[in-house]
Structure 1
Amino acid sequence: MTADTRPGGLDREKLFAARLHAVRVRPYLATALFALCPVESRRVPTMAVDRYWRCYVSPAFVARTPVEELAGVWAHEVAHLLRDHHGRGDRIARERGLTGVGDRLRMNIAADLEINDDVYGDGLTRPRGALRPGDLGLPDDQLMEDYLREIQLGSRVGDLAWLECGSGADGLERAWDLGPEGAHGLDAQERDLVRLRVARGIAGRPGYAPGGWERWAEEVCHPPQPWRELLGAAVRSAASGAGAGDDYSYGRPARRATALPGTVLPSLRRRPPRVCVVVDTSGSVSDAELGSALLEVASISRAVGGRRDLVTVVSCDAAAQTVHTLCRSAGIPLVGGGGTDLRAGFDRALRARPRPDVVVVLTDGQTPWPASRPPCRTVVGLFSRPVSSYNENDPDYRPDEPPAWARVVTIGAT
């Protein structure tokens, strides 16, 4: 392909040479770099992207910028799209009420800081004027959302206004955007496929990319799940499983009774399942987590059809306390504060009459577990803990892991 010979026209040969250089030094970004569609625009200060994977390019900027620096700009712009800065910018704007142009500039700069601390070097030249966190006195390896809380532009707004990466960096549409109906844009499915292919390429070769890219790839390949939905689904699954809530009743004779004249056989009837919630009230569980546990108890009652009279609560530290029925009062007393041995809580729950069909345990995991599987389904809601929190005067101490027969959901993980 030859260069554009029109006066002031876009030098595509130089632009594509820069992209090829970026591919050579960052091969894990190749799929994304070649998915970008360049669009000539004299309204763009440098290079900018939109959420549909178009890259708007200023001919004057290409003409005055060395190929090595253009390669860095290519990698920078595609990083905005891979890391979904436009979608995250929209969410931040809704949550924090950031609607002004100045707010979007801060988002753009915060997104740049997330990218620039690990995108350059090792064959990729840092473009002139590209900000790094240290330039603003901020630490490396943070996310756009973290930098946005700390950035205070003040009198520097005029100096930084040229940092224009387009709507693909902050979610605010620009005058030059072609929009969803314009040519050469990628639809949502195509965008997701590009991200997934890049992420799998990075995740499949540990040490191949910087740590920031590896963390991003891990999240794309294994996205976090909302734990409340997972906990509710686990309880519903356990409560609806075979055997849960099944009982024999003489209220309606069994169909097989016709084969035995003079004999009345009970039929198998399904009743609403009974759930017992064992709450860890040991000293290692905070008041905030106990409050969260009470909220989850209410959610569990909804997960089994809203029958609060079928949900009981046992508070347990090293010893089990009284069994409380959820419908008896507005508040459930959680008594404890000592050591932890939830085996007593399991024993107390299983001795209740009628016996529960499902036992739900809300704990931080620092407890011994029953040696054998209980005669009912078990769901464990595990309060998240960093590894360092398990140091109880013994650096080698680790609590017993929840047993394999329990369905485990980490509470507080996003």
Structure 2
Amino acid sequence: MPTEPSWTAPLAEAEVDATVRVPGSKSITNRAYVLAALSSGRTWVRRPLDSRDARLMEGALTAMGCRIEHVDDGVRVGPLSRASDAARVDLGNAGTVARFTPPLAALGTRAVRFDGDAAIRRRPLSPLIGALRDLGADIVDEGGTPGAPPLTVRGRGGLAGGEVELDSSASSQFLSALLLAAPAFEHGVTVRLVGEVPSEPHIAMTIDMLRRFGAAPQRAGSEFHVPAGRLELPEYTVEPDLSTAAPFVVAPLLTGGSVHIPDWPRQTTQPGDWLRSLIAELGGKAVFTGDGLTVTGGGGLPGMDLDLHEVGELTPVVAALLCFADGPSTISGVAHLRGHETDRLAALATELTALGGDVSETADGLTIRPAALHAGTFHTYDDHRLVMAGAVLGLRVPGIAVENPETVGKTFPGFVDAWTGMLSGLPPD
């Protein structure tokens, strides 16, 4: 990974012909770590993501008394211990860590202080903290915003559980946080949702993983129930991160040629699997071949109207791609992206327009009209998905300087090398 403040995204000089290995799913890795920490025995989590967010989760669990051991092809995660000494958790700017770990602290026996980067203090958290308080958790606000870091969760040795209402419209992670911890509550947890959930696929992922670890989650519309129960799974293998694969998957649409992604699962709850249908709609082909998925570019790129409500994290890469469409496009259903690492809608509209694009915000998305792009700096706002979007722009526009490429280490520390290797024809590591 380069150390300079910007990276000039390479121009595609020819059709791509590459195999690219993407790292493990962040969403699956951090869910697996939480479930392993709540299990009765140790779990070997194979092929997990090794990135800043995953390391922050490991650090959080270690601070709360969980034994983490790096071994060949993975990490062994031991159950959380019970101790009375205080602990501190660094959240960085990791949403899954900020949301998944406070319930664990509420179930424990120590006071745990949570804080992180300045950006994490601005990201939505209070609905989850309010729900935990309704369930009996002892949580002390220590900053200027109630229900936001810095805060301390004072564990009292467990929680009875019961019924609670939750507004998870700002992030499906609020609901996932309660469901993942629910088996360790004395009577389990029943969550009644108020409002809409932004990402049904991530909820499906949480429910699927709970079942794999031995829980018995139930759903009836907007009501979820997870009874108390014993979790145990000796070994769990993490799928590749299909959202992180997005820039590589769309590259052949702009360059021609093909890209092969090994180990792409044929069945998955990951929202990134939607990319296969997008490629077909845009005139390309996405077919399972050998050990994974092969994507081949088509002809022209039509404008499209896309509701990305269920796959919001793909918005930066898709928006960059649609800048090269033959006609106007709209992206809708993603108002919740204003509360991610940055306000992604404002950032995309600002940065794409600064490079000559005709991009404007709507109430819940973006409107993108054809326009000639030019060289310039693409600011990334400490957002890993914006680095990936900048790389996509660089395929067709020379001189795109992507600011702070190191921020992509949140999900793919080797992204720049993998991207350069794809365009140079170098084999994957």
Is this a same-fold pair by TM over 0.5?
no
The TM-score normalised by the length of structure 2 is 0.24
The structure where strand makes up a greater share of residues is 2
- Structure number with greater Rg is 1
Q: Which has the higher contact order (CA 8 A, sep 6+)?
A: 2
